[in-house]
Amino acid sequence: MKIKFFSRANCPLCVEGLQTLKLVQEDVLFDIEIIDIEQDDRIHEKYMLMIPVVEKDGDVMQYCHLDYATLMERLGS
């Protein structure tokens, strides 16, 4: 399974969110593709107020304040 993680540089919430996602990754098998929203205008416009964003198969699993329990529930099923 591949998970997309949308973030940008100098975003403390993104650093924290990636740490949380990596904790989930210890219990659920998936790859993380990290995408810098500032490299694509379309993605930047879509997610600039939501980052960090975790997406699976085109569906947003969670955004902004990521938490282990919610991500486990949504990615573990």
pLDDT, one tens digit per residue, over 21-54 is 999 999 999 999 999 999 999 999 999 999 999 9
CA 51 from chain centre, in angstroms, equals 8
Distance CA 54, CA 13 (A): 13
Q: 3-class SS at 6?
A: strand
Residue 60 has a pLDDT of 95
Structure-block tokens of residue 27: 């219990």
Asked if 76 and 25 count as a contact pair (C-beta separation under 8 A), the reply is: no
Name the residue type at position 55: E
pLDDT, one tens digit per residue, over 57-66 is 999 999 999 9
